[in-house]
Every structure is written in structure tokens, then in C-alpha cells.
Amino acid sequence: MNYVLRRLLMFPLVMLGVSVFVFVAIRLVPGDAITAMLGTESGLLTPAQRESLAAYFGLDQNWVVQYGRWLIGLLQGDLGLSVTYGQPVSQIIMERFPLTLELALLSMLIALLIGLPAGVFAATRVERPSDLVVRIFAMIGQSTPNFVLALLAIYVLSVGFGTLPTMGRFVPLTEDPLGNLAQLILPALALGTAFAAAVTRISRAAMLDILGEDYVRTARSKGFSQSYVIWRHALPNALIPVVTLSGVEFGYLLGGAVIVEQIFALPGLGRVVLDAILQRDYALVQGVVLFIAFNFLVVNLIVDLAYAALDPRIRYGES
Amino acid sequence: MTIARTLVSAVAIGAAGIAAPLGAQTLNVAWSQDATGLDPHTQTAFASIRLLELLYEPLVRLGPNLEIQPAIAESWEFSDDATTLTFRLDPEATFHDGSPVTAADVKASFERILDEATGASARANYTSITGIETPDEHTVVFQLDGPNVPILNGMGSINAAIVPASAIEAGTVGTEIMGSGPFTLEQRTPNANASLSVYEDWHGGGIAYDGIEVSILPDETAILASLRAGQADFALLNDPLVATLVPRADGLELNTAPTLSYHVLQLNASRAPMGELKVRQAISCALDRQDILDAALLGEGEVTGPLTSPAYRNDPSTLFCYEQDQDRARQLLTEAGYADGFSATIMAANGEPPTAAAEAQLIQSQLAEIGIDLSIEMQEMNVYVDSWLAGDFDMAVALNGGRADPYTMYNRYWTKDGNLQNVANYIDDTLDSLMQEGRVETDEAARKEIFAEFERHLAEMAPWVWLYTGYTYTAQRDGVEGFEATPTGSLFGLVDVTLSE
Amino acid sequence: MSFLGALLRHGSGRIGACVIAVFAVAAILGLTGLTPHDPLAQDRLARLQAPGATYWMGTDLFGRDILSRLMVGIGQSFAVALLSVGLATVVGTVLGLTAAWFEKLWDGAVMRAMDVLLSFPAILLALLIVAIHGPGIDTSIVAIAIVYTPIFTRVVRGPALSLKTRSFVDAARTFGSSRRYILTRHLLTNLVAPLTVQITLALAWALLTEAALSFLGLGTQPPSPSLGLMLSDSRNLMETAPWMLIFPAVVIMLAVLGFNLLGDALRDVFDPRTRRALG
Amino acid sequence: MTLLSVEDLRVGFGKSGHETEVVHGVSFEVAAGETLAIVGESGSGKSVTAMAVNRLVDFGGGRILGGRAVFDERIDVATATEAEMQRLRGREIGMIFQEPMTSLNPVLKVGAQIDEIFRKQHGLSGRAVRQASIRALDRVRIPDAARRLDQAPHQMSGGMLQRVMIAMALAGEPRLLIADEPTTALDVTIQAQIMALLAELQRETGAGLIFITHDIGLVAGLADRVLVMQGGRAVESGPIDRVLDHPSHDYTRHLLDAVPHFRAGQAVRRDGTRDGRTSALSVRDLSVRFPVGGGFLRRTRGVVHAVDGVSFDLVPGETLGIVGESGSGKSTTARAILDLVRPSAGQIDTEGRSAVQMVFQNPNASLNPRMTVRALLAEPVIAAGQRVDDTVLDRMHTLLARVELPADLDRFPHEFSGGQRQRLCIARALMLNPRVLVLDEAVSALDVSVQARVLELLIDLQREFGLAYLFVSHDMAVVERIAHRVAVLYAGRIVEMGAAQEVLSDPRHPYTQKLIAAIPSIDRRRIDYAIDTEDVASLLRPVGFTAPPQTWRQIGPDHHIATEETS
């Protein structure tokens, strides 16, 4: 397990890197929280008024002090107060993250449930029409911008069927499972299509390679049927590249969620960051971006664990 | 197609189940921008004011055609020399915790607004108050440093809302809602949704339903879709391109009301060549205001001069060069020494208003016809506001807020000591003296004449080129009646709404 | 067997190459001004006109010809994609190669830095950069390049590590060839295959990101058209003027499809096993 | 009763309708308990023929185009359905493949890959399956079977994995066993053990065995009948003694004579003289050690002593053959001399950097596929800082001619055959006219007949340019042909060294004796190999371990052996 241990040790290092990066980046953005809040009216503030507001927003200290105070707070689990929401950043994250997480997991599920079988199916029928059909669909899936998909979905549903996934509010799974699914199925489809296409192509390529390997030939020489050989011998090996792809792709899902949440008006974490940047809410941007980066690293760790579980060569290392 | 069919029915069942059916007497409202804060004294963003007007109450209120109506104050009058203003409070008025609204609360509220530490941006409108007395629990007398008729209008803005003195001491004004308005705030998830319920013993009378469920849908096409899907009963729309689609959908009604805020092309007179009067006038003559209105807002609005409030608005065709006259424009340019035109940049904010990009491109193509070559700089809202406040632009496409009273609307730009002088980049004695006259004049007819003269001079000096006013749009499903829009865009009209099956 | 011949014999390669060729011609015509109408000219009488005789693809809100704007838009979007991916390739290759060659500290530092960038959702990273630098074509290029550099670094570092162990590198070492010679002549020339495949896929992805950025109002600025901008302009007019949405959306899809097909074909052409099948 | 009779079998590859035929009408028979050897070089169609018998060729894009292959006088494999074939494979026909390291599923435990046969084919369940698997491993003499079942394939050696393969093939109690070059990837001592195991198991089960190989010497000890194939045709077949002693087809004669076979010292070179020449290369107690398990935050677990105090020297015009099995440290020694591996101790004296050049094992991997012949040959010159002028171009042309390659400088490596590419590597190594050539398994990757031609070329070049060769190889027959002197390496140390003639004909060190005994040769027929399962000694030593100094015993004028007993 030393491989995974080494990855764990890298966590704080990368997180520190991210925290510095986002802290500096958001402060380089012109304009501050006061202009964001008051707009053109902020010109009416007298210097004294501006100072008192700046103090309230914590904009008056120099950067190093602000970073120091934020970092110390971070270590005690206090991500600071969001100016625009008037709530602690950690509370906003806890409220908004379930939606984005569920959206990302649902699209990942869709991607894997559609992508993997399609990829394997296509690989076993190489050069036959069904292989071509799967590849074309995968290609189109990967080529359509997700916001076009989202726009069309809303238009067709509201005009054609007079129904729409609930907007503005999150229907938690615990309260109303059917409502929750109804709300998230469409955004998850819009977000997950490109991912499903990628999984199809990766699993198809992996399966093609694996079916040519010696150990598959050995399995066949034992008299096992084609489906058993695929399911028992080929698939476990094909999962490895798919798992790796899912790790990287999960990062994109969190990013892609920003646009899909905007169009479907879902109060997720993706939109919070978008608004926070526009509102110059420093504490919120820093907190949420750090949280998303943390998630990304956790997901990659899970991918590594899955990697080790799938492939003993990693788990035991070289004998 | 079977998969799609089952998918859609799943969504249908889910959606219907969720949107609270009309029966439970909740009004589902949708709009695209959420309040940026909850302190009535410091908030100026339109989205914040719209929400706070339902939770707090000022002393008086502006009616559908901007006449002064009672709110917390039952009655009011100026002294004969208009230097003192006395209000008599409605004894029935109570805060949401049942405590009565007293003169002490009014006094504490105004002291908070006038205190610089609060950062109340509308403070400039009340600086003429020199003293506040509370002879008894229900009377408040304001001493003014001089005759100031517009202050009564100022008292009608939510920025002058009355908050409990106890809340001011506790410093909870921005975080806890304790107003005397028709609704109380049950729950709010910023940038997502909010729930309001009716305040039973609101002194303004009963309301025909139990509460309002607000959804923030940033994408206006989504608002239209939610109206169609029955998820929203009532909605506010900014973008005329979307609003004009509402009448097409069956079961939806669109109400339009002219607004006070005005679309304007601000010129920077402190920079060459805009410093030349003839150049500014040439620009004013070169633009076809109606054509820009037709293209950018699909004609949804009216060409206007500087004054937009109904009481003072005049017929714009009487103003300088309000008919496009390209030859005169070229002639003015040559007289100013710019026969073969010049090049400049025009700045606009992304999506603020939604039609900004379109307006910039139309202005660019129209001015190109007389040799003025514009390059467009679209900026993110905050960056735009920073440059706007610093006056750091050649030209700027803007949508500026209007006020019922011309003085409170323009004293910040067109008076010698207006604090947004560096945005106006132009001042002369006539403008300043007319503004002061208008401030002190108590007679309505005389005031109207003063400001008409002020408007003509402004159009002629053309520091800015006023274009048109748009509409505020509200859309509702059948069964929602009784809403009356106002030029200020206030949603106070929701108080009279009735819901029927 | 010539490389191009193999590419054209490959099923999806042929389609991909044709699609990209068509768009490339359109882009060149667009950028050199040979469009049916002036993309910026506003025809007051023909506002929001459906596709017809004079305007084959209809007009937009200001009466500008959609077809001409599309041709310029393709040129604009291709330019952004090519420049940003080019930048990412150069930086990624240098980082990837040096990380693979020096290993130990430098490799760790480079990979950790890439982890930091990768842990940022792409759109947010682009958003921050655009917010700092202000919207515009150059910022989109830098934003997309920064987002894509980590991917190129990894695509180069992996194969470079394995190439380093190949005998012809050992042979070069025994001759005493210089480090620069080995890195360029031996490692780089053999990385052309994975790099080209990644470049075509990156171009497809860059087109989508440029469109997304413009959709959020942060990409290329009006009045010069880009595919993303035309898409976002058409958003509120979806019902009144559907052609304003359909044509740009179809063009983006086909362009991205073209690059993906090309990428797939290149992968087969470069892979010796499948190359033989192509004769 | 004939177990399998094949008549006029034709097999082809490619899209149905216009396949390219690879096997053109082969016929043979195998009786129960009988061993048929199919011998031929790569590309002769021997593997395709075998894979056609159990129709595995279908999965490789191939098809049986014609002929009959009747199994057990009841089912014709050529026309059987896939369902019928699935009942045949494993239960009736077992198969063993060439590369044990890749023939087992890397992500599944070894046990799981054996259990599934008993569970699926024999319907066993629960504990019975585990017991059957343990018995299967005992049967192929794998020690400590229970623990091995829970190991993953990458934790086992090549020899051990091949035993697992045999256990799996026999688990279904097949009546016909097909072994496709089962020992080619293994060291010679392990190869002998596997051959012995196969012979014994065949006697035990009475199954028919088809043994496919390119090394005719190997089958002499095992086969009853032999079939020689060339270019997809059967050129000769018959009982083993008749074919080996009186070959009728000239290709069979070529396989027997031209291809190097070990003659226990008779076929050594007679042209070397050592006296009076200063050494071109001298190595004094060279050691190379690798820390294992070191790295971040953890102390090293141990040190691998790959090379432990090796000394020898090399005189111009002389070839020193270094022989040893995998893991003996022979390649590491070669790489250390060229500084590709940093030696931990020892002294290497040469006449300067460009005086020593190296030729690697795999010709494909040692030529950059993207460089033309001109660039490939020019690299050493550029590296040495000289300009590629006309004299250098002339040298290129003369060298290309000398190694019998076309003079076209603009061709790419993939346009040459394996043998040609290795000759190009030799030409490149000679560009700076070195004094010493280090040849690391230089011919092992080539076809047998091509090997012979390259060896002759090397010998001619040695005579012409007076080169000294350090020839590293695991193949005793090849070393016998080219080496003047031989050094035998075991566990990183020289155990025996001296003139080739003495060492090969009269080996005195126990390890050398065991090594030479295991080498198959045409002369020894149907012998039964002694089965011993001792594994190669591990080189992992505790930290700070220093081997005791070596003591030598002189046997002959130029022949001595190490006396400390092998630890």
C-alpha cells in the first residue's frame, strides 16, 4: 500500500498550492465586494463610508495578513464568513454541495452504465454495423456542447410537454426520491453525455487490446464461452483505463456543473462559485474552490485505491 | 422513442407533485437576480429593493402614478416656509414581533441613515435634515436647513425604511428581518430561493393568500419555461426578447409598465474630441433613437428626454436633434474641425442590461455612417462599474436608475457639488442654478417649468445622449389578478393580488 | 506507404479530414472577407429574417447575414483553438520531457504543479483568468492553454518515461550523445504520434470551451462573431428565430466531430498494428 | 487408435471471401500416448496449424479453408460448430503457450484461474474445488501449493508459471495436449525440467502430445515422430531417428547442419592466440549493487548484488564468451563496462570512450524508427564532435557494403528484416572503428538460420579489423561457435573460466556441469531427464553484506574454477 501512502502525503502539498493560487487569483480580479454590492451607487459613498464598509468586508488589511488569518482559520475548520450570503462559507458549502455531488455522481453513473456496456458491445462486434453505430453515437455525444443540450431540453420539455424539472429549489433524495430523480435526471444527462461518449471510446479501445492478449487466448483454450471469457477475464482488465478516465473526468464534471446549474437554475456549488467570482466574495470563492480541489484529490485517491484493488501488480508492487 | 416517453412521464409526475398546487394559496414567483444584501438603508441594487419593499415600510409610499400615499405615516404636511415637515404615524402600524411603530423608531432610523458609519448610499437625499423631534408617540417633526420639496419623495424610498430602534442598538438590522411590511421572511437560500408569508396584523389590511415562494432563475428563458410548466404563477422579466414571447403562450398574460430608468449613451466631455459641443451635438443628431429601440428592444419602449417620471415628462421631439439628421451631424463635425471623423472606444457591461451589447453594436454602425469609428469594449459588471465611477471611458452604454423627483434623480450629476460629477464630466451655471431653483420651488406648475427648461438645456449641451425608457415586465398565469405595476418597478402591487382556480 | 494515403483510406479519417477541410476553406474565405455579405453590415429592412434567397442562413437581430458571420466565426474559433492548443502543446511538451528526463525533484515539482491546475475545474480556471485579464480573444487563448497544459504534460511524460528505457537511447548514451540531442532527436521525434492524437482531441475540446466561455459572456467580444458568441446571442431568441441557434450549434458540432474523427484516425495510423491493415 | 488425423489442412487469414492462405494442405496423425514434434522457423505456419486443431485460430481472424481434422474418429474439427468446439477445448484438447509471463490473467489470483476449470468443467464446488487445485499443482511439482494459489501471477518466476500452465492444461484430463514452444522463453536448466515434466505426465496420462518448436535439437530427447514445416508446407515427416540420421529434404538438412547445435566443445574456434598482446579491455573485480525498497521515508530493505567481483581481460582479435542464466549478472556486467549502469566498485580500463561500442539484443528497439540509415550511422560521429563530411559518408558506404546491406542511406529501419537491422547496428558500432565490441545477446532475437549468417559476419569482421569481442549469451551452442575463451557466470560471480575447448568438453565446476548437461542435443535420444525443482539463488543480500573473496583452482594452462562452495 506504499503507493497509496505516497499519494496521501501529497495531499497537503497540493492543497497548499491550490490555496495560494486561488487566494492570489481572486485578488487580481479588478473591482471589489463593495462595487459588486452597490453597483453604480457605490460612487455616492463618502470616503468615511467606504472605509467602514471596507473594514466590514475585511478588505483593509494587506494580503499577507489576510492569507495568514484565512489559513489559521482553515486549520480550525473555519472557512470564514461569506459577505454576500451573510453565512459561514462552510455552511453554504454543506447546503449546496449535495446537489452538485449528486449531479456529478448521477452523470458518472449514467456515463458508466451507458458507456461501458456500449464500449464492450462494440469491441466484440468489430467492423460490423452495430460497432459503427455505437462509435457514431459516441462521437456525436462527445461533440455536442452540453449547454446546447441543456437549452434544447428545457425548450422541448416546457413547450412540448408542459412539464419541467423543479427549478430554483433542490429536492433532496431523502425527502422525495422520485422528485429528486425527476429534477436531476435531465441535467445529469446533459452533463453526462460527453462523459458517456468518452467512456464508450476508452472501454472499446481497451477491450480491443485485451481481446488480443495471451491470457484471453488461454481462457478460451480452457473451453469457456465467449461471454464468460469477456465477463470474467477481459472486463476486469478493461476497467483499469476506465477508472483512470473517471478520475480526471470527475474534475470536468464539477466544472461542467457550473453551466448546467446555471441553465437549469439548480442551487448547486458550481453556480455558487460563478456568482461568488462575479460578486467578488473572496472568502466564499477561496472556500469553495479549495473544497472542490479537495474533492478532486479525494476522487483521485479513490481512483488509485480502485486501481490497486483492480490490479494486484500495483497492490503488491514488484515481488 | 419509448425511452424518451417514459423519461418525460417520470419528469412530468415529479414536477407536478413538487410545484405547490394553487389551492394552498401560495403565490409562486420567479425572477432572475437575487438581493445582494438585506439592510434596507445600504442596499441600492434593484433586486434587493424589490424584496425589501415587501418586508419593510418607509413613512410614505409612491403610488402607481408616483403620487405620495400613506404608509407608516397616516398624514403629513410642510410648514408654510417648507423648512419643517411633520408626520402623524398610523397607531395600528406594528413591527412583525407585534411591537408598535413609534416616533422613537423613526428618529433612530433616520439617525442611522445620516450616520456616515452606516454607509447608507442614499444619505445625500436626507442631508438637509438638521433635527428630528418626537413631540408624542405618533408625531415626528423634521427640521430642514431650507425649503426642500423633493425630500418628501425621498421619504418614499425603501432606503428610508423604518426599523425598530432596538434592532439598531443590537446591530441586527442587516442580518435579522424586523420590519413592518406586509410579509415576513420565513427562509432564504441566497441566489436560489426564498419563502415569505403574510404578516397577519399588517396595518395596511388583509392579503388574499397565505405566502410567496420565490425562485431565482438566472436564465430568463428558464423563467418563461417555468411559467409555461406551471411551476411559477408570477414572474419578473428584464429582457424584452423573452418578454415579447409571453403573449404567444396560452394561459399567460404580460403586463408592461414604463420605467423611470433610462437607456443613455454617456459621452466623456472631459476628453477630446467629446469636449467640443458641436461634436457631442453631431453625435446626438447622428443617432436614430427609434431604430436602436426597434432593433435592441424589439420596439419595447419609448424615446425619452432626460426627464422620465410621468409628472415631469415632456414630448421629446421638442428637444435638440431628436430626429436623425445625418447631414446636420456631418456639418457640425466639420465645423468642429473633425471633417473626416475620429475613432474612440465605447464601453458596455456584459448582460447589465441584457440589451447592452446590442445597443453598442447599433450605435457603432450608426455613428460609422458619419465617419466615427467605434471599437466596442464589453466588460464584466464590476470592471464596468469601476471604470464608470472613475469616468475612465470615451463613451459608455448605460441604464441608469430614475427617481420620481427630477432633483433627487439628477442632483448627483448636474449640480456643482454632486458627488458623481466625475461621471457626468460636464457642468455649467445654468444647469446648477436651475437645479437649485427646482429644489426650493414648492409650486408644482413652477417646478415643472423649471425642470422643462433644465431638460431642454441638457439635451442641447448633450453631455449625454438620452435614448429611450424601456418597460418593466411582469408575467402571470390566468387566475392571478389584481396586480398593478409602477414605474419604479416596485412589487408592492402584489399585496392586492387575488388567486383563483 | 505515405502517411496521408493511410489517413484517407481510414474510414473516419476520410470524413474527419473532409469536414475540417470544408471548415478551413470557409474560415479562410471568412477571414479574407470573401463572404456573401459583409458580416458586420446591419440591414435594417432584413432584421430577424428567416433563411431565404438573399440570406441563405437568415439574419440576426441587427439584420446581419448569419452565413457570413459563421464563416468569420469559424475562422475566429479555429484561431483561438489552434493558438491555445499550440501554446499548451509547447509548454506541456517541454515540462513533460524534462520531468521524464530529470525525474526526482523536478519531476515531483512539475507533477504537483500540474495536480494543482488539474484540480481546478476547467471552466472556473478559465473564468478566473478571464475575470483578471478581462474578456477577449487573447484571454480565451491563455485561459484554454493553461487549462490544457497539464493534460499535454501528462501525455508527453508517460511515453517519454518508457522511451527512455528503450535500447536506442542506451545506444545513444554509449556514443556519448548530448542530453539535448537525445531529448530532441530520440525522445521528441517518437512522441509525435501520441502528441498529434492529443492535439486533434484538444482542438475539439478547445472549440467547446471557447463556445462555453462566450456563452457565459467571457469569450470573444462583439461585434466580431465567434461560434460561442453567436450561440449565446441566439439564446433568448430560440423561439422567434430558431435558425440563429441551429446553424452555429450544427457548425460547432460538425467541427468538433471532424476533429474527433481525425484524432481517432490518426491514432490508428500511428499505431503500427493497425497501420499495416491500412496497407 | 489414431487420436487425431489431419488431411490436407488449409488455413487462411483476412476478410471472408478473400483470405490469404498461410497453411497449404498439411497432413499428419497423432495416436494416444504418442508425441509428434512439429519443427520449423518462425513464419513456417507451425503455430497456425496447432491453433487450427482446437480452432483458436478463429479468434485470431483466421479460418480453416479446407481439409479435414478428425478428432477421436468421431468429430471433424474443420466443420464443428463453436458450441461443439467449446465442449472439446479443455476437456479433450489441452494447450500450453510460449510466453508464461503473459498467458496468465495479471489481475486474477493463480488459484482463481485454476479453480474455474474445476468449477465450470467438472461442476465441483466449495472445498472440493480448492482440494482439486492443490492436487493439480502438486502434480506439476510446485512446492507449497496452497500458498501459491493465493499469489498473483507477477509474483512467480517464468518456470513456475509454465508449470501452472501445464497444471491448468491437464486439469481437464484432456486426451490430446498441444504445447506451442513451451520452453523457448525459459532458461536452459528450467527448460530441461519442463521437458522432463511433460514427458513424465504424458507417460502417466497416456495423452497424445503435439510439441511445436524451432529447435530441432530439443525434440530429439522427447518425440516419437517429427514433422518439418517450411513456408506453410510439410516438407518431411517420419520417425525421429530416420529424420535426424537420414534427412531426405535439404531444408531438414539445413536445420540439422547450418543452425548452431551444441557439440560439447567439438565445434569451437581454433584461430585464437593470446600470447604477446596487450589487453584491449581489462576489468578488475567489478561490482554492481542496487538498493531495494529504498526511497521516500523508508530505509532500504536489502541490496541486490547483481555483479560481485568479476575480473577478466580481453586481447585484440579474441572473443570472450560470457555464459549464464537469467539473473546471473551477465547483462549488467556488459552494461557496466559501457557505463549504462554505474558500477559500485572495480576498475575498467579501455583505450578511451569511442574504443568500446555495444550491440544490443533487440534490433528493432536499438534503432530509432524515425531516423534514416544516414542519421543512424552519423549519430556516433556527431556525438564524438566530428562533422559529417565526405570521408564519413565514404566510411558509411564501405561499412554498409561490408555488412552486405544495400547502400541506400535514405531508408528507414522498418524497411529492413530482423537480421539486416542487426547488421546495421554492427555497422553503426564500427563507425568510430572501436577496439572492443560488447555484444549483449546480439543474436538471441534472430531466427535460427539468420543467427548463423550474423555469427559468420562477426567472425570475419573480427579477423579483418582485429576486434576484441565480449560476447554475452545464454545459448551455449552460439557461444561454442564464436568464443575463443568462455567464462561461466552464476549469481553475479565467475565460477569457471578458460579456453572454450577445455571448459565446454571437460567442465569441472558443479554448476557448469549441470548447465551443460541440460543443453539439448541431437545426439542424445529419448533420455529421461532428472526432475529437480531447485530455483535460481536469490541475489538479495542484507545491507552491508560483503561476499567472501574468491579462491581459484587451476585445472589446465588456461582453465580454472572457483573453489568456494556455491552459497
Domains belonging to chain C, first-starting first, are 3-31+65-271 (1.10.3720.10)
- Searching chain C, which residue's CA lies closest to the CA of residue A17? C116
Q: What is the pLDDT of residue D399?
A: 92
C116-168 pLDDT, tens digit per residue, is: 888 777 777 777 887 777 777 888 888 889 888 998 998 888 888 888 888 89
Per-residue pLDDT for B3 more than 60? no
Q: What is the pLDDT of residue A318?
A: 39
Per-residue pLDDT for D295 more than 80? no
Interface contact B295-C61, CB threshold 8 A: yes
- Report d(CA B159, CA B53) in Å as an integer: 9
Q: Is A296 on the interface with C (CB under 8 A)?
A: yes
For chain D, how many structural domains are there in total? 3
Q: How far is A253 from chain D, CA to nearest CA, in Å?
A: 29
Burial status of residue D548 (CB atoms within 10 A of its CB: 0-12, 13-18, 19 or more): exposed
Interface contact C222-B295, CB threshold 8 A: no
Interface contact D87-A223, CB threshold 8 A: yes
Chains in touch with B (≥3 Cβ pairs < 8 A): A, C
Q: Is B191 on the interface with A (CB under 8 A)?
A: yes
Mean pLDDT of chain D: 87
| Residues D208, D153 within the same domain | no
Per-residue pLDDT for B29 more than 60? yes
Q: What is the pLDDT of residue D531?
A: 57
Where does chain C have alpha helices with state H?
Answer: 3-9, 11-31, 66-102, 104-118, 122-133, 137-164, 167-175, 179-181, 189-215, 227-233, 243-270, 272-277
Percent with pLDDT over 90 in chain D:
35
Q: Which of B324-328, D58-62, D484-488 has the lowest mean pLDDT?
A: D58-62
φ/ψ of residue B427, rounded to 5 = -155, 145
φ/ψ of residue D400, rounded to 5 = -60, -45
- Searching chain A, which residue's CA lies closest to the CA of residue C208? A145
Q: Which residues of A touch D90 (CB under 8 A)?
A: 221-224
| Residues D23, D156 within the same domain | no
- Write out residues in chain A with pLDDT < 70, as ranges: 1-3, 315-319
Q: Which residues of C touch B248 (CB under 8 A)?
A: 239
Q: Which of B162-171, B347-356, C245-254 has the lowest mean pLDDT?
A: B347-356
Interface contact C189-D370, CB threshold 8 A: yes
Q: How far is A201 from chain B, CA to nearest CA, in Å?
A: 23
Q: What is the pLDDT of residue D279?
A: 82
Top-ranked range on mean pLDDT: pick from B289-303, C30-44, D287-301: B289-303
- Searching chain C, which residue's CA lies closest to the CA of residue B364? C223
Do A and C count as touching (3 or more CB pairs closer than 8 A)?
yes
Chains in touch with A (≥3 Cβ pairs < 8 A): B, C, D
Collapse the DSSP code of A55 into the 3-class scheme (helix H, G, I; strand E, B; otherwise coil) and give the result.
helix
Higher pLDDT pick, A43 / C171: C171
Q: Which of D240, D258, D276 delimits the end of a domain? A: D258
- ipTM for this prediction: 0.80
Q: Which of D202, D224, D258 delimits the end of a domain? A: D258
Mean pLDDT across D386-396: 91
Q: Which residues of B touch C47 (CB under 8 A)?
A: 294-295
Q: What is the CATH number of domain B1-10+36-173?
A: 3.90.76.10
Spell out where B50-151 has E strands.
60-62, 68-70, 73-78, 84-89, 129-136, 139-144
Domains, chain A, ordered by start: 14-86 (no CATH), 90-315 (1.10.3720.10)
- Listing from the earlier edge strand, what are the strands of the sheet with D2-13? D20-31, D2-13, D62-71, D75-76
Q: Which of A189-193, A249-253, C21-25, D490-494 has the lowest mean pLDDT?
A: A249-253
Interface contact D107-A311, CB threshold 8 A: yes
D535-566 pLDDT, tens digit per residue, is: 566 677 777 777 778 888 888 888 888 886 54
Higher pLDDT pick, C69 / A7: C69
Q: What is the pLDDT of residue A309?
A: 83
Q: Is B215 on the interface with A (CB under 8 A)?
A: yes
pLDDT band per the 50, 70, 90 thresholds, residue D377: very high
Per-residue pLDDT for B4 more than 70? no
Q: How far is D294 from chain A, CA to nearest CA, in Å?
A: 12
- CATH architecture for the domain at B259-470: Roll (3.10)
pLDDT band per the 50, 70, 90 thresholds, residue B398: very high
Mean pLDDT across C86-93: 94
Per-residue pLDDT for B189 more than 90? no
Q: Identify residues of C whose CB sits under 8 angstroms from chain D CBs.
A: 166-168, 170-178, 181, 185-186, 189-190, 192, 272
Interface contact C173-D382, CB threshold 8 A: no
Q: Identify residues of B whose CB sits under 8 angstroms from chain C CBs.
A: 219-221, 239, 241-242, 244-245, 248, 291, 294-296, 350-351, 354, 357-358, 360-362, 364-365, 376-380, 383
Q: What is the pLDDT of residue B1?
A: 33
C-alpha cell of residue D501: 575447448
Q: Which residues of D touch C177 (CB under 8 A)?
A: 379, 382-383
B105-137 pLDDT, tens digit per residue, is: 999 999 998 888 887 877 878 888 899 998 988
Q: Which of D204, D231, D258 delimits the end of a domain? A: D258
Interface contact B382-A35, CB threshold 8 A: yes
CB < 8 Å from B in window 214-253 of A: none
φ/ψ of residue C264, rounded to 5 = -60, -45
Q: Identify residues of D whose CB sits under 8 angstroms from chain A CBs.
A: 54, 56, 59, 86-91, 94-95, 97, 99, 102-109, 116-117, 120-121, 152, 154-155, 165, 168-169, 172, 296, 298
> What are the boundaries of each domain within chain B?
1-10+36-173, 259-470
Residue range(s) defining the domain that contains residue D389: 362-433
Q: Which residues of A touch B385 (CB under 8 A)?
A: 31, 35, 39-40, 42
| Residues D11, D65 within the same domain | yes
Q: What is the pLDDT of residue D535?
A: 59
Is residue A86 a contact partner of residue B175, using CB atoms and an 8 Å limit?
yes
| Residues D206, D237 within the same domain | yes
Of B351, B378, B380, the CB nearest to C222: B378
Mean pLDDT across B40-62: 88
CB < 8 Å from A in window 192-211 of B: 192-193
| Residues D31, D85 within the same domain | yes
As a whole number of Å, the end-to-end CA separation of chain A is: 13
C-alpha cell of residue B290: 427609434
C-alpha cell of residue B128: 438637509
| Residues D33, D62 within the same domain | yes
Per-residue pLDDT for B11 more than 70? no
Q: Which residues of D touch A221 (CB under 8 A)?
A: 54, 56, 89-90, 94-95, 97, 169
pLDDT band per the 50, 70, 90 thresholds, residue D200: confident
Q: Single out the residue of A143, A138, A150, A145 nearest to residue A111, CA to CA.
A: A138
Per-residue pLDDT for D296 more than 80? no
The CATH number that applies at residue D188 is 3.40.50.300
Mean pLDDT across D259-287: 79
CB pairs under 8 A between B and C: 62
Q: Looking at chain C, how many residues does it have?
A: 279
Interface contact B19-A162, CB threshold 8 A: no
How remote is the C-alpha of D192 from its chain's centroid? 13
Q: What is the pLDDT of residue B150?
A: 81
Per-residue pLDDT for D507 more than 50? yes
Amino acid, res. D116: E
Burial status of residue D547 (CB atoms within 10 A of its CB: 0-12, 13-18, 19 or more): middle
Q: What is the pLDDT of residue B23?
A: 46
Q: What is the pLDDT of residue A132?
A: 82
C-alpha cell of residue B31: 425572477
- Report d(CA D66, CA D23) in Å as an integer: 10
Q: Which residues of A touch D154 (CB under 8 A)?
A: 312-313, 316, 318-319
For residue D506, being part of any structural domain is answered with: no
Of C62, C134, C237, the CB nearest to B361: C62
Interface contact D366-C173, CB threshold 8 A: no
Interface test with B, best of A44, A82, A92, A181 (most B CBs within 10 A): A44
CB pairs under 8 A between A and B: 201
Q: How far is D29 from chain A, CA to nearest CA, in Å?
A: 21
Of C167, C172, C173, the CB nearest to D365: C167
CB < 8 Å from B in window 140-179 of A: 151, 154-155, 157-159, 161-171, 176, 178-179
C-alpha cell of residue B67: 403620487
| Residues D86, D183 within the same domain | yes
Q: What is the pLDDT of residue B10?
A: 42
Q: Is C178 on the interface with B (CB under 8 A)?
A: no
Mean pLDDT across D263-286: 79
Do B and D count as touching (3 or more CB pairs closer than 8 A)?
no
Interface contact B378-C221, CB threshold 8 A: yes
Q: Which residues of D touch C192 (CB under 8 A)?
A: 370
Q: Looking up cell 397577519, which residue turns up?
A: B200
- Searching chain D, which residue's CA lies closest to the CA of residue A233? D105
As a whole number of Å, the end-to-end CA separation of chain D is: 52
Q: What is the pLDDT of residue D5?
A: 93
Q: How far is B360 from chain C, CA to nearest CA, in Å?
A: 9
Query: Which residues share a beta bridge with C226?
Result: none
Mean pLDDT across B152-172: 88
Per-residue pLDDT for D268 more than 90? no
| Residues D201, D80 within the same domain | yes
How remote is the C-alpha of C223 from its chain's centroid? 23
Q: Is C44 on the interface with A (CB under 8 A)?
A: no
Percent with pLDDT over 70 in chain B:
95
Q: What is the pLDDT of residue C2?
A: 66
pLDDT band per the 50, 70, 90 thresholds, residue D297: low
